[in-house]
Chain A
Amino acid sequence: MAHFPKPAEGSWTEHYPGLGTGPVSYKDSYDPDYWQQEIDAIFKKEWLCVGRVERLGRAGSYFTREFPWAKRSILVVKDREGTVRAFYNVCRHRGNKLVWDDFPNEETSGVCRQLTCKYHGWRYDLDGSLVFIQQESEFFDVDKDSLGLVPVACDVWEGFIFVNLDPEPQQTLAEALAPLADGLAGYPFGEMTQTYEVRSEIDSNWKLFIDAFVEFYHAPVLHQRQATAEESQKLASIGFEGLHYELFSPHSMVSSWGGMSPPKDPSMVKPIENLLRSGLFGPWDKPAAVNDNQDLPPLLNPSKHRAWGIDSFVLWPNFMILFWETGWYLTYTYWPLGPSKHLFETTLNFVPPENASQRASQEFAFSTFKEYAFQDANTLEATQTMIESEVVDTFMLNDQEILCRHHHAAVREQVKAGGRPASYPWMPGSENGGGG
Chain B
Amino acid sequence: MSDTTAAPLPADFADLDPFADWALDTWRERYEKRLDSTMDEMQAFYDAMMPRLSEALEYCDSFDLHDLPDEARNLLLLTFSLCEASFPVEAWRQPRVPDSGSADLEMVREPPL
Contacts and interface: CB of A to CB of B under 8 A. Distances in A.
A353 B106 CA distance: 23
B113 interface: yes
B68 to A, nearest CB: 7
Interface string A196-224: 11111010000000000000000000000
A356 B27 CA distance: 16
Contact of B107 (A194, A198, A271): A198
Contacts of A364: 83
A199 B83 CA distance: 20
Contacts of B53: 272, 275-276
Contact of A360 (B80, B90, B103): B80
Contacts of A373: 105
Nearest to B68: A356
A272 B109 contact: no
A188 B16 CA distance: 40
A31 interface: no
Contacts of A378: 99-103
A359 B97 contact: no
A225 interface: yes
Contact of B106 (A199, A270, A360, A375): A199
Contacts of B60: 355-357
B13 to A, nearest CB: 13
B76 interface: yes
A11 interface: no
Contact of B65 (A272, A359, A363): A359
A377 interface: yes
B105 A272 contact: no
A356 B65 contact: yes
A409 B23 CA distance: 49
Contact of B76 (A271, A356, A375, A381): A356
A366 interface: yes
Contacts of A81: none
The size bracket of the interface on A is: 35 or more
A353 B60 CA distance: 13
A377 B107 contact: no
Contacts of B92: 225
Contacts of B11: none
A270 B91 contact: yes
Contacts of B84: 367
Contacts of B54: 275
A225 B58 CA distance: 31
B82 interface: yes
Contact of B103 (A270, A363, A368, A377): A377
A344 to B, nearest CB: 9
Q: Taking each of A198, A225, A367, which has the highest tally of chain B beta carbons within 10 Å of its own beta carbon?
A: A367
Interface residues of B, number: 39
A355 B110 CA distance: 17
B73 to A, nearest CB: 9
B91 A225 contact: yes
A226 interface: yes
A263 B29 CA distance: 31
A200 B65 contact: no
Q: Taking each of B79, B98, B102, which has the highest tally of chain A beta carbons within 10 Å of its own beta carbon?
A: B79
A375 B100 contact: yes
Contacts of B102: 378, 381
A354 interface: yes
Contacts of B111: 194-196, 359, 362
B57 A360 contact: yes
B108 interface: yes
A357 B61 contact: yes
Contacts of B72: 356
A431 interface: no
A270 B86 CA distance: 9
B14 interface: no
Contacts of A276: 53, 79, 83
Given A198-B105, A199-B106, A368-B87, 19 more contacts: A195-B109, A197-B107, A197-B108, A197-B110, A226-B91, A272-B50, A275-B54, A276-B83, A356-B60, A357-B57, A364-B83, A366-B27, A367-B87, A371-B87, A374-B105, A375-B98, A377-B100, A378-B101, A378-B103
Ranked nearest first, the 10 interchain pairs of A and B with the lowest CB-CB distance are A356-B60, A374-B100, A367-B83, A197-B108, A197-B109, A374-B97, A378-B103, A272-B86, A198-B105, A377-B103
